[in-house]
Structure formats: C-alpha cells, structure tokens
Amino acid sequence: MPTPAKKESIDELNNVFSGAKAALFSNYQGIKGAEMTRLRRHLKDRQLEFRVIKNTFAQKAAQGTSFEVLNEKFQGPMSVLVSYEDVVAPAKALQDFAKAGAEKSPEVLFGIVEGKAISADQVKALANLPSKEQLISQMLSVMQGPTRNFVGVLSGVTRNFVGVLSAIKDKKEGGQ
C-alpha cells in the first residue's frame, strides 16, 4: 500500500511523463556531487527538467502515457531529462555538457520523443542535428537558390545584349 507521499511522487512523475515532448533516460552513477550541481544548472538554463527517478515509481507513473512502452527498460540507477517544448534540446544539452569539459556526464540509455521510443544511438544522431534556426536558414537558402539563378540568367541575357550592341557600335565607329 503506497503512502500518500509515494502516491504524490508517482502522480507528479505521471504529470511529467504526460506533458513531455521528449525525455532521455540515463545512468547517472559515477557523477560527483559538484559535477551533478553543474549539470543541473546547465540543464536549468536550457529550460529542461532533470530528475533522479525510482524505477518502481517510473513504471507506475508511465501507465496511461506513451512512456508505458518503456516499462521493461526501467532498471538500475536512472535519471530522466525532460523537455516540454523542443524535442532535440535534451540530447543537445547533454552533448554540450560533455563537450564543456565535464569529468563525467550521464550515459544515455534510451529515450522517448513525441511518444516513440528511441535508442541511445538515435539520441546521439538527434544531438548531431542542426538547430531549428539553422535548419530554417538552410531551407530558406535552398528556396532562394532557383530565384537567384533565374535572376542571374535574366541579367546575363541583358548583359550579353548590351555587349553585342557595344561591339556593333565599336565596329561602326571603327569603320568610318
């Protein structure tokens, strides 16, 4: 029989799972206290939520959410990194933390993105994607390419026509 405090923790975790767009589950063992504080600060600056979770609580909290498919994976010491907005942010944040000279960063075990379970390798691929702003910039550049080329072709025709007229004029002036 769960105590009211445990039930409250399970309900709170259920709310987290229900509202999350993306979540990464990782093994946090071996990270020292000061490093964990630095990690939490790093993640908080990016509007991400980091929690150490109890597996039995996670299994109960996952019921009725898209996280239910992960129930058999909740084993060993585990933490969860949650994003309510950007699906790529958790993966990028952990990658940035590791690159920033962390002694040890959490080892990603698996994740869930928009209701679909993903492996650790897929999390790494997600972390290597360009940011949303970069993707928009690339898309706009690609969309401008044909227009830019069309303008270049049209100006080339005009430029060549002017060149031909100039050559005719020089020939007539040189012939007199």
- Same structural domain, 94 and 142: no
- Same structural domain, 119 and 142: no
Sheet strands side by side (includes 49-53): 49-53, 78-83, 22-27, 107-113, 116-119
Tens place of pLDDT per residue across the chain (176 aa): 568 888 999 899 999 999 999 999 999 888 888 888 998 999 988 999 999 988 888 889 988 888 888 878 888 889 999 999 888 889 999 888 888 877 788 889 999 998 899 999 999 998 888 877 888 998 998 898 888 888 888 888 888 888 888 889 888 887 65
**C-alpha distance from residue 134 to each of 61, 114, 129 (Å):** 36, 21, 9
- Same structural domain, 35 and 72: yes
The partner residues of 7 in beta bridges, in order of sequence, read: none
- Same structural domain, 146 and 113: no
Q: Is-above-0.75 flag for pTM?
A: no
Q: Which residues span the domain enclosing 147?
A: 131-176
Please report the DSSP string for 151-171 in residue order.
Answer: HHHHHHHHHHHHHHHHHHHHH
Cα–Cα distance measured from residue 37 to residue 58, given in angstroms and rounded to the nearest whole number: 23
- Same structural domain, 110 and 167: no
How many domains would you assign to the chain? 2
- Same structural domain, 159 and 86: no
- Same structural domain, 78 and 140: no
Q: Residue 128: phi, psi to the nearest 5?
A: -85, -5
Tokens 């060549």 found at:
160
- Same structural domain, 9 and 64: yes
Question: Quick check: 153 and 147 in contact, CB under 8 A?
Answer: no
- Same structural domain, 9 and 86: yes
CATH number for 124: 3.30.70.1730
Q: Which of 169, 154, 15, 26 is nearest to 94 (CA)?
A: 26
Cα–Cα distance measured from residue 163 to residue 19, given in angstroms and rounded to the nearest whole number: 65
